[in-house]
A and B are shown apart, each in its own frame.
Chain A
Amino acid sequence: MAIPFSYSFRNLWTRRLTTVLTASGMALVVFVFASILMLSEGLRKTLVDTGSPDNVVVIRKGSASEVQSGIERIQAAIVETEPEVAFGVRGRRLLAKELLVLINLPKRGTNKTSQVVIRGIQPESLLLRPQVKLVQGRMPKAGSSEIMAGASIARRFRGGGVGENLRFGMRDWTVVGIFDAGNSAFSSEIWGDADQLMQAFRRPVYSSVIFKLADSSAFEAVKKRLEGDPRLTLEARRETKYYADQSEMMAKFLRILGMSLTVIFSLGAIIGAMITMYSAVANRTSEIGTLRALGFQRGSILAAFLMESLLLGLVGGCIGLFFASFLQLFTISTLNFQTFSELAFSFTLTFEIFYKSLLFSLIMGFVGGVLPAFRAARKNIVEALRVT
């Protein structure tokens, strides 16, 4: 039978101060580790929630996003006639030809400006995005200079609230409504009439065509036809995939940043744990000798010290996660790297991140403790007993 678990636990408890200090180092690393995972999860969730699997986004071939895309009116009209496009009310196709423009707007409380997505919409745009809900004011009237702002725009940009005015495209636009699109990227957009915006910005072409499939499984067929049509220079993606692709680059960036930070910090924390464990082994040399004399095997000594170090890691992991969980209260706005516009999202803690962080803290405990534990196990009994 092994040396009891309480032996490892109480030794940590006995030197509480050292334990807490060492665990804090690991906690910091787990905090960084978890928060970056939470950040990239929040971003992914925001962008993926933005799309709906039955919707198809059509943009110009080779353009990474709606921002770089341009679709001639004639081409857009051809897309509208595809048989796979669903019908909505009064026999109208559930399809919207939209415009996307980036503008700089000043933020509230500072003079700094930030880039914002303006989306020119058509009546069907709202039917295609049921997650977009008006929470204040009313819808802009078609053919007017009225606009509505996403909830996070209203909160963070000067002139974004109901009744306020925003100036862009050499015109003043009145905000008549605020819409909430939950956790999606739409919450960071401003929506207005597509034709009015095209006039204001002197843009002759649409940016994208969005439509709903009558039958979700018909996607491959319509994609093949659109992309094979010699009159068209377009590509089609499911809306979910379109937004997931957008998050890809940001996610990759966060992964690289997160992993480099984590590796650098964890080296420090592991060395800290190693120093603590080496001194624990040195301080308890005669104790190790005693246990061995009583008949405990080298393996039991190894296990007891390793357990101690794993526990140390776990304590660090729990502290780090505890603090990281508070990050969920914050909303972050950052640059969407694909559109170079502002995007608001929050840190999201998932079960996967939770257990990955704890696993990571255990790994740090293990790596920090394995050499000291081997030193403890390798000691010669008589020499260990001679140390007092």
Chain B
Amino acid sequence: MNQTKPPIVRIRNLSKSYRRGSQIIPVLEDITFDIPDGEFLALMGPSGSGKSTLLNLLAGIDSADTGSILINGVEITTLAETELARWRSLHVGFIFQFYNLIPVLTAFENVELPLLLTRLSRQERRAHVETALRVVGLADRMDHYPAQLSGGQQQRVAIARAVVTDPTILVADEPTGDLDRYSAGEILDLMDRLNRESGKTIIMVTHDPRAAEKAHVIRYLEKGELSDASQ
């Protein structure tokens, strides 16, 4: 089934290293892989193996040394900084381990934030925000500030913020890493639903085997190289 659709993410010969003083630390070495449209991918691997680095690269917030990242036909490694920011606002939904909501903005305003970068009118924005908050089951918490919400609820607001612009890919770095079992389960169910019902492509970094179970495909990153779960 997946072979018939063109891949939504196409990574070729991607390398990235960090320099610490005179020492060069290779993190990713010549990574090549595709992610089909509608995939729910879990990225696993030991700490420090470069999972976050890889995720940041394909979300367009970090830059690679060499290689190509094609997302829905756009080569993002060659985009200038302002174009890249614009591209992110349209195509990437971010879910962070610590939710990263803006504390001084209400749930509604947090979800509205990415829509401020679009041409939508006030009423259109309102409609989109309300829909997104309804999807995550927090329509009644619109006017609450992050501090007035539990961790799980905050993460659901963050998911609403990530999907409100209807992005091409959702990237999540340990989305359940800061949550208890119950809340984590809720978040994973929500992501699973978004994937199955709305066909969202999700790339999730996780240490949690239960989280990985929800994904269709698990890939391991180790010593800068990527391998399938089957291996």
Contacts and interface: CB of A to CB of B under 8 A. Distances in A.
Nearest to A295: B89
B114 A295 contact: yes
Interface in A290-340: 290-298
Q: Give the dominant DSSP class at A's interface.
A: helix
Nearest to B91: A295
Interface in B72-118: 81-82, 85-86, 88-90, 92, 94, 96, 98, 100, 102-105, 109, 113-114, 116-117
Given A10-B104, A10-B105, A287-B102, A294 B62 contact: no
**A-side interface size class:** 20 to 34
A14 interface: yes
Given A290-B96, A381-B61, A382-B56, A295 B88 contact: yes
Contacts of B117: 1, 294-296
B163 interface: no
Contacts, number: 66
B96 A1 contact: no
Contacts of A388: 98
Interface centre among A289, A291, A294, by most chain B C-beta atoms within 10 angstroms, is A294
Nearest to A299: B82
Given A1-B116, A382-B56, A294 B88 contact: yes
30 contacts: A1-B116, A3-B116, A4-B109, A6-B104, A6-B105, A6-B109, A7-B104, A7-B105, A10-B105, A14-B104, A286-B100, A287-B103, A290-B94, A290-B102, A291-B102, A291-B113, A292-B85, A293-B61, A294-B89, A294-B94, A295-B88, A295-B89, A296-B117, A297-B85, A298-B81, A381-B61, A382-B56, A382-B61, A382-B62, A388-B98
Interface of B: 56, 59, 61-62, 81-82, 85-86, 88-90, 92, 94, 96, 98, 100, 102-105, 109, 113-114, 116-117, 161
Top 6 A-B pairs ranked by shortest CB distance? A295-B89, A10-B104, A290-B100, A381-B61, A1-B116, A295-B88
